[in-house]
Chains A and B, each alone.
Chain A
């Protein structure tokens, strides 16, 4: 399936891009995608189509997956 992946803050700098489209196996999860692209999944939250989801969320073709590093607002 095809996914668009969004990168923010430190992850955007690590990947040197803010978003990109990728092809993954149909059983991919936010956690498995993070491990493939970043090499880790710890300390991250995940959003799919702008809603926070569990790390084992079932992804679908065309989803927009965002990796959310620890926030620091305020």
Chain B
């Protein structure tokens, strides 16, 4: 097993404690690990996003995806997104587990879980977290299809 896990606890004036789990792993993601991290007796809502490898992309049959991460900046950027979530919504806990290395169709590449007392905070926060993650967090994917292989979002320069 190969993984790196970081957990943070922040004290706030208005919200007692918000915990943030950030984990990088080359092993299959166990959703229950993220879910159990954010569950709490005070939370009536737990929202989860699981990003899975599809079997096709833009008409091509996908064989595998290779995930690469800039680890130090990954932790910093996810922590910033966590801080933004806490500032915008009444969120209790956050868990982000990112897979790295070679993934097959059907594998989960990322799982994000957020808990809150009421559903609206965790649902809206989760949507924000996913969008910001896709825009800002340094993760790259090399897609192998039956036709070719390419780094997603990358156009070779000259």
Q: A70 and B153 in contact (CB under 8 A), knowing A8-B68, A40-B158?
A: yes
Interface of B is mostly: mixed
Q: Please give, as numbers and ranges, the residues of chain B lying within 8 Å of A39 by CB-CB distance.
A: 157-158
Segment at the A interface, from B25-33, B40-48, B137-145? B137-145
One of B72, B76, B98, B139 near A71 (C-beta < 8 A): B139
Q: Quick check: is B135 within 8 A (CB to CB) of the other chain?
A: yes
Contact digits for B116-158, partner A, Cβ 8 Å, 1 yes 0 no:
0000000000000010011111111110000000011111111
In the complex the two chains form, what is the Cα distance from A73 to B133 in whole Å? 7
Q: Please give, as numbers and ranges, the residues of chain A lying within 8 Å of B138 by CB-CB distance.
A: 8, 47, 68, 71, 73
Q: Please give, as numbers and ranges, the residues of chain A lying within 8 Å of B51 by CB-CB distance.
A: 74
Where the two chains meet, the residues of B that have a C-beta atom closer than 8 Å to any C-beta of A are: 51, 68, 70, 72-73, 76, 98, 109-110, 130, 133-142, 151-158
Q: Which 6 A-B pairs have the closest CB atoms?
A: A73-B139, A9-B140, A70-B153, A72-B152, A74-B134, A50-B72
Could you list 11 further interchain pairs (A-B, Cβ under 8 angstroms) beyond the known A9-B154, A71-B135, A73-B137? A10-B156, A43-B157, A50-B73, A50-B76, A66-B70, A69-B151, A71-B136, A71-B138, A72-B154, A74-B109, A74-B130
Where the two chains meet, the residues of A that have a C-beta atom closer than 8 Å to any C-beta of B are: 6, 8-10, 12, 38-40, 42-43, 47, 50-52, 66, 68-74
22 CB < 8 A contacts A-B = A8-B70, A8-B138, A9-B154, A39-B157, A39-B158, A43-B155, A47-B70, A47-B73, A51-B73, A52-B73, A66-B73, A68-B73, A69-B153, A69-B154, A70-B154, A71-B134, A71-B137, A71-B139, A72-B153, A72-B154, A73-B133, A74-B139
